[in-house]
Amino acid sequence: MAEILIAGVGTTTFGDHAGRTGRELFAEARSSALAESAVSSSDIDALYYGNYMGETAERQSHQAPLMASGIGTTGLEATRVENACASGGYAVADGVRAIESGAADVVLVGGLERMTNLETAETTAALARAADELHEGRPGLTFPGAYALLADAYMERFGGTREDLAHIAVKNHENAATNPNAQFHNEISVADVLETPQVADPLGLLDACPISDGAAAAVLISGEYAAEHNLSPAVAITGSGRGTDSLSLQEREDLTRTKAAESAAQAAYSGADVTADDVDVAEVHDCFTIAEVLALEALGFYQPGEAITAARDGETAHDGQLPTNLSGGLKAKGHPVGATGVGQLVELTKLLAGTHPNANAVPGAEVGVTHNAGGTVATAAVHVLEVAR
Amino acid sequence: MAEILIAGVGTTTFGDHAGRTGRELFAEARSSALAESAVSSSDIDALYYGNYMGETAERQSHQAPLMASGIGTTGLEATRVENACASGGYAVADGVRAIESGAADVVLVGGLERMTNLETAETTAALARAADELHEGRPGLTFPGAYALLADAYMERFGGTREDLAHIAVKNHENAATNPNAQFHNEISVADVLETPQVADPLGLLDACPISDGAAAAVLISGEYAAEHNLSPAVAITGSGRGTDSLSLQEREDLTRTKAAESAAQAAYSGADVTADDVDVAEVHDCFTIAEVLALEALGFYQPGEAITAARDGETAHDGQLPTNLSGGLKAKGHPVGATGVGQLVELTKLLAGTHPNANAVPGAEVGVTHNAGGTVATAAVHVLEVAR
C-alpha cells in the first residue's frame, strides 16, 4: 500500500448538541483536524464524507458540497458516502483509495450525524431503514431486535450469559469516564446493566449505545506530500479493507459470524502485512454489547465462540492484553452514525500518538485497528493504523 | 490514466415502473450489464452505487449491500454514493478510481431511483433537499425555481429567449423518439413548449425533465483483466473528473457559469489528454433546458453566452456538428436521479460502439463526454469515453 499518513484529527464531543446544526458541528471537527495537520486547506484535493440520515434529521441531502464549502476551490471533490453505521469507515476507505490512485495528495475524510433533534421514535424509524425493508423493516424488526437475534444465536451455539455481555458495557463506560469527548462519563456496574429494562431479550437498555450528535474529521496525506512539506505525522494508515454480507439476516448461513468484517479484516491485514497477533489496541463497533464480541472474533483476536468472556476476564480492559474501545466505544462514547467510523480513526490515532487521555493504557503500542459496521454487519470497514516510522 | 474498459452496460427503460421495487429494477440493469460483459459475477471486486432518495421513496437506506446481494462473495465491496442528481456520475468516478488504485480489476457501477411511487409533492420535497436547507429549502426554493434563477441571470447577461430554450426540449424529444429506453416518445414543437404552463418564469413545464423510475449499470474492467480474459470491449473511459461549488446559489459570484462542471471537465480532459475540440458526441445533464446551455459552455464547446442558440441553430442536433443528448437527455429520456449519471455512460457507450439506435447520427465518432450535475451544479462529474484501440 502507498504511504498514507494521518496529518491531523478533529472531533466534536459526542452527545446531545441540541440547537446546533450539522454544518456547524462538522465545521468544528474539520477546523480542529486542519489546525492539527498544519496543512493548508487550499491543498485539499478531496472530501469523502459519511452521513447516514441527513435527509430525515435535517432535511438536507447532498451534504458533501455543503461540508466542503470554504475549504477549497471548485476543483475540490466532495463525495458523500452512505453505508448506514459504516458510512464513516467507508469514507475513510475511499479517502485512502483516492491517495492510492494518485488522484489526490491531501484528502479530508469526515462524518457527521444529527440525531437528537428528532423524536426518538423517528430516529428509531430512520435507523431501521438500514435493515432490509422488505424482509426486516416491514415486519417491524428494529436494530435492538436484530442484534438480540444475533446474541440469541451466539449464546445458543457457544453459551455465554447476560453477565458476560454486561462486562462489556461496564468496561466501555469505565473507559469513557476519562475521555472528555465521550457522551457518558458515569461508571456503571454489572448489576446496573442486568437491572435495567430489557429492550430485546437478551439485551437490556445498557447493552445498547445511545442516540448521539457529533462530527469527526481527519486529514490524510501522501508520503510524498509529507516529505515535500516537512511534515512528520505520528501515525499512518497501513491497511484498509471492506466487506459485504447480505443485508437481511435471513439470507445468512450463520448468524454467529460477521463475514463482512472477516473479509474486511483480512484485506486490511493483508495490506498492512500484519496479523491479528500484531495488534496492540482496537476500536470496534459495539453498537450493542454482543457486537463487540462478534467484532473481536471477526478481527481474528478470538476463535468463534471465545470472545464472549473477554471483557469479563479483563482481557480487553485498559490493563488487559488487548485494550478494546479505550475511547468508550459506541456504547459510552456515543454513536452519531455517520461520524462513528471517522471518530474511531480519531481516537485510535491519538492512542497511538500518545496524545489520548487513555493512552497511558497502551504505552509503546505500535499497531491498532478500527472496525466499523453497517446494519447487522452487512457492510464493514476495517483499518490498520501504525506508528509511523 | 490506467486503461479502464467498459465491458458491458445495462439499463431498464426509464419511466413509470409502478409496482416494481428498486431492487428488482437494479437487478434487471445489473444482469444486462453482466451478460453483455462476459465477465463472471464472481470476479466483481466492488460495487459503487448511486442512489438519491431511497430513504424516502422506499424506506430503504444502506442499499449498497442489498444491490450487491447475489453477485459475489463477502469480500465484495459495496458502497453507496449520494451526491444528489450527480450520484450516478460520482459512482462511476469512484469505480474508475478503484481500478486506478490497483484495488480492483472488475467494478460494477450502477444507480437506481424509484420516484413515481411517491405523491408528486413528496417527490418535489425530497428533491428540494438537494438544495441548501438553510438558505434555499427553508425559504421554499425548489429546483424549477432555482434553475429559473439561473436562466434569468443568463438571459439578463447574455440575452436569449424562451424560444431558444424551447429548441433544446424539441431536439431532445426528437432524439428520445427513437430510443426505446426513453420515457417519452412523443415529438413536440417549439409552440408546444411555449404554450405549456409556466413552472417558474422563464421555464415552462416542457423545459423540465420528468419524474422517473429506472436503473442503469456498467461493468468496468482493467486493461490487464481484459488481456487475461481475452476481452476486447469497444469503449474505454479515458478521463474522469469531479468538481464542487457552493451548495447555495447565494454564495456564488456568477450565476451564469457552473464552475463545478468546468473543473470536472478540465480534470477529465486532462486525464484523457483531449480537448473540447476532440469531442464528437455528448450526453449532458439537461434537467431543465437552461442546464444544457450551461453544460455546453462548462464543457468548453461554447464560450460563455454562446450556447443558448446551439439547439436553435441545429448545431447540437443529431445532424449537427456536436450531437448532444442523442439519448433524449434527462428531458425526454427521463431522470431517475441516482441512475442518471450511469445511464449517460450506458447511452454514450452504445453510441460510440455503434449499437445505439441513434448511433447512425455519429458514424466514426471516437470521443464522447458525459456531464452529470448535482443540485444547481454544486457537484459535477465528467467522463471522457473513447473508442478503444
**DSSP helix/strand/coil, A199:** strand
Q: What tens digit of pLDDT does each residue of B172-206 get?
A: 999 999 999 999 999 999 999 999 999 999 999 99
Grade residue B72 by pLDDT with cuts at 50, 70 and 90. low
Q: Which amino acid belongs to residue A243?
A: G
The beta strand positions in chain B, using DSSP E, are 4-11, 46-50, 77-81, 106-113, 198-200, 203-204, 214-222, 235-244, 281-283, 367-374, 379-387
**Angstrom distance (rounded) from CA B62 to CA A188:** 33
Q: In the prediction, which pLDDT does A74 show?
A: 62
- Give the C-alpha distances (Å, rounded to integers) separating B320 from B313, B315, B361: 9, 4, 9
- Give the C-alpha distances (Å, rounded to integers) separating B351 from B291, B312, B360, B388: 22, 23, 8, 13
Grade residue B74 by pLDDT with cuts at 50, 70 and 90. low
A to B CB pairs, distance under 8 Å: 188
For B324, which DSSP code? B
Q: In the prediction, which pLDDT does B71 show?
A: 79
**Angstrom distance (rounded) from CA B86 to CA B244:** 11
CB A318 within 8 A of CB A175: yes
The pairing of beta strand A4-11 with beta strand A46-51? unpaired
Q: What tens digit of pLDDT does each residue of B113-150 get?
A: 999 999 999 999 999 999 999 999 999 999 999 999 99
B4-118+211-387 — its CATH code? Answer: 3.40.47.10
Chain A contact present for B178, CB below 8 A: no
Q: In the prediction, which pLDDT does A72 show?
A: 65
Residue with cell 475540440: B277
The residues spanned by each domain of chain B are 4-118+211-387
CB contact under 8 A, B247 and A129: no
pLDDT surpassing 80 at residue B73: no
Write out residues 99-118 of B within 8 Å (CB-CB) of A.
Answer: 100-103
- DSSP H helix total and E strand total for chain B: 13, 11
CA distance A206 to chain B (A): 26
CB A346 within 8 A of CB A37: no
CB contact under 8 A, A55 and B242: no
- Give the C-alpha distances (Å, rounded to integers) separating B359 from A184, A343, B318, B323, B365: 63, 50, 9, 10, 9
CB A107 within 8 A of CB A77: no
Chain A contact present for B77, CB below 8 A: yes
Grade residue B70 by pLDDT with cuts at 50, 70 and 90. confident
Is B17 an active-site residue? no
Chain B contact present for A67, CB below 8 A: no
The beta strand positions in chain A, using DSSP E, are 4-11, 46-51, 77-81, 106-113, 198-200, 203-204, 214-222, 235-244, 281-283, 367-374, 379-387
Chain A contact present for B84, CB below 8 A: yes
Per-residue pLDDT of chain A (389 residues; tens, 9 = 90+): 789 999 999 999 999 999 999 999 999 999 999 999 999 999 999 999 999 999 999 999 999 999 998 776 667 899 999 999 999 999 999 999 999 999 999 999 999 999 999 999 999 999 999 999 999 999 999 999 999 999 999 999 999 999 999 999 999 999 999 999 999 999 999 999 999 999 999 999 999 999 999 999 999 999 999 999 999 999 999 999 999 999 999 999 999 999 999 999 999 999 999 999 999 999 999 999 999 999 999 999 999 999 999 999 999 999 999 999 999 999 999 999 999 999 999 999 999 999 999 999 999 999 999 999 999 999 999 999 999 97
In B, which residues are within 8 Å of A52 by CB distance? 61
Q: What tens digit of pLDDT does each residue of B212-261 get?
A: 999 999 999 999 999 999 999 999 999 999 999 999 999 999 999 999 99
The residue in chain B having the minimum alpha-carbon distance to the alpha carbon of residue A259 is B74
CA distance A48 to chain B (A): 10
**Strand partners of residue A285:** none
The ipTM, to two decimals, is 0.97
Residue with cell 490514466: B1
Choose the closest CB to A74 out of B82, B131, B263. B263
Give the CB-side neighbour count of residue A206, counting CA atoms within 13 A.
24
Write out residues 307-326 of B within 8 Å (CB-CB) of A.
Answer: none
**Angstrom distance (rounded) from CA A160 to CA A312:** 11
Q: What tens digit of pLDDT does each residue of B259-283 get?
A: 999 999 999 999 999 999 999 999 9
- DSSP H helix total and E strand total for chain A: 13, 11
In A, which residues are within 8 Å of B126 by CB distance? 55, 61
Nearest to A218 by CA among A1, A26, A382: A26
Choose the closest CB to A75 out of B100, B263, B378. B263
Grade residue B2 by pLDDT with cuts at 50, 70 and 90. confident
The beta strand positions in A226-332, using DSSP E, are 235-244, 281-283
Write out residues 250-309 of A within 8 Å (CB-CB) of B.
Answer: 251, 259-260, 262-263, 266-267
CB A294 within 8 A of CB A154: yes
Write out residues 133-152 of B within 8 Å (CB-CB) of A.
Answer: 133-134, 137
More confident residue, A373 or B73: A373
Q: What tens digit of pLDDT does each residue of B7-58 get?
A: 999 999 999 999 999 999 999 999 999 999 999 999 999 999 999 999 999 9
CB B330 within 8 A of CB B287: yes
Choose the closest CB to B100 out of A53, A68, A101. A101
Q: Give one DSSP letter per residue of A22-71, joined into a string.
A: HHHHHHHHHHHHHHHHT--GGG--EEEEEESSHHHHSS---HHHHHHTTS
